[in-house]
Structure 1
Amino acid sequence: MGSWKSQVRAQLLLRDQREKHPYEGVFTSLSHLEERLEIRLQILKDVQSNSSEGGVNVRLLQLQLRESEHLAEKLSQTVSDLTTVLHLKDAELQHWQSRVSRHRQEALTLAKGGNALKASVYRQEFAIECQTKELAALYRERKGLKETLSQARRDKEDLLRRWMEEKEEEAARLNKYNATQERWQRLARHLRKHLAKKDGDPQESGS
């Protein structure tokens, strides 16, 4: 907080120097000269009106006394004005210190909020990274399952093809067996007929 006080005080002094100090001496000198001239004119008027009542030295002492009293009053007024300005400056400084403190508190609050947001972002990034890894694992598993399914389909097609080939071979063997049986049956019928005819020939020759 000390550095903030120093910065605010330096800004206020710089502002006063820029806005008031270049003209402060001129205005003060002019004001003093006008006051002294006014006092001397008033005293001179009084001296002229009362010139017959006393000596010159007494009037000069009165002139100096009145001038001193007036300067003392002005000095007192100047001290009062400076005290007022000092109080105003102190109030202004306190106002700036209050604003600085408030801004500092707001900055701390914003910093805490920023840290909370950073932590939330880190958590979200970590969650996204974990989800990305899980998604990549799921893609790999899906790829493996697709390859397994493709292999199963190929195995099924190969098994079906071999089964069909075996059935075709079995049907061919069955057809061949049936054809063989049919030939044997035809041959057997032919032999029976031949034997029957052969057995009937002696009877015909005996008659």
Structure 2
Amino acid sequence: MGSWKNHVRARIQQRDHKEKLPFVGVFTTLSQLEERFEIRKHILDDVQCKSFERGGGGVEVGRNTRLLQLQLRESEHLADKLSQTVSDLTAVLYLKEAELQYWQSRVSQYRQEALTLAKGSNNMKATLSEFEFTIESQAKQLAVLGLEQKGLKEALAQAHRDKEQLLQRWIEEKREEADRLNRYNDTQERWQHLAKQLKRHLQRERGKECGPTTASSSTRGKETTPSVFQRVHNKMDLYKGHSDYSRASAATKV
């Protein structure tokens, strides 16, 4: 987009350099010469009119007088023009001085603003450095907290696993204890059933022996009955002690 514009601009500058710039000085000089010609023509016309009004004096004196008047008028006109140019240049100079003062005030204002902005920039750089240091410290703390959180998660997972294992073991131990209690209850029921049967059997035996018997036979019966009951009670006490020991050991493990 900008390449063809640059190309056209370069070609126009090249054309001006070839066609316009060589004739700039010529046109200026021509305009100056035309202006001087008009001035001299006007002055010459005035001098000729005055000479005709005075009459036909000496030709040579009149010619010299006309030349001198012409030069004088030309000099006066040039002086007026130069004075006008000087006044114009003075006015322009005053304007330039006022503009220069204005721009100097603007420069001082901009310099003050630049100093203020530089101070603000330095303060912002210092604040930015503090923020960067704070961010770096917080990043390090965040990394440490992340590691701690990871360790805590691992510990929590391990605690959950240990809890599950302990709960499973406790359930298994309770199941075993329940099985032991069930077996103990079954055994107690069997022993009670056996004791009832033995009791009935003894009662029947006693009913048969209530008739006339000898003292020796009654003595043997009395000795036999307590011995049978003693053996049954000894076995029941032994099994009860064994079951109590098993229950105590299970409670100790839990």
The interval holding the TM-score normalised by the smaller chain is 0.5 to 0.7
Amino acid at match of 1:86: L
What does residue range 54-93 of structure 1 map to in structure 2 within 5 Å? 54-87=57-90, 88=92, 91-92=95-96
Ranges in structure 1 where 5+ consecutive residues have no aligned partner: 1-17
The answer to whether 1:149 aligns with 2:156 is yes
Share of identical aligned residues, percent?
A: 35
The answer to whether 1:194 aligns with 2:197 is no
Ranges in structure 2 where 5+ consecutive residues have no aligned partner: 1-20, 214-254
Per-residue deviation, 1:36 = 0.7
C-alpha separation in 1, matches of 2:71 and 2:86:
22
Cα offsets for 1:45-80 (capped at 9, x unmatched): 22222233x322332232123222212222322322
Length-normalised TM-score, structure 2: 0.56
Moved more, 121-130 or 153-162: 121-130
C-alpha separation in 1, matches of 2:131 and 2:188:
83
C-alpha separation in 2, matches of 1:113 and 1:33:
66
The answer to whether 1:38 aligns with 2:42 is yes
What does residue range 1-207 of structure 1 map to in structure 2 within 5 Å? 22=25, 23-52=27-56, 54-87=57-90, 88=92, 91-92=95-96, 95=99, 98-99=102-103, 102=106, 105=110, 108=114, 112=118, 115=121, 119=125, 134-204=141-211
C-alpha separation in 2, matches of 1:114 and 1:81:
53
Cα offsets for 1:112-157 (capped at 9, x unmatched): 4994697366666666555555555554444443333333222222
C-alpha separation in 1, matches of 2:69 and 2:171:
142
Per-residue deviation, 1:38 = 1.0
Higher relative contact order (CA 8 A, sep 6+): 1
C-alpha separation in 2, matches of 1:94 and 1:134:
63
What root-mean-square deviation, in Å, do the aligned CA atoms of Structure 1 and Structure 2 show? Answer: 3.7
Aligned length: 186
C-alpha separation in 2, matches of 1:130 and 1:140:
15
Amino acid at match of 2:32: T
C-alpha separation in 1, matches of 2:79 and 2:191:
157
Length-normalised TM-score, structure 1: 0.67
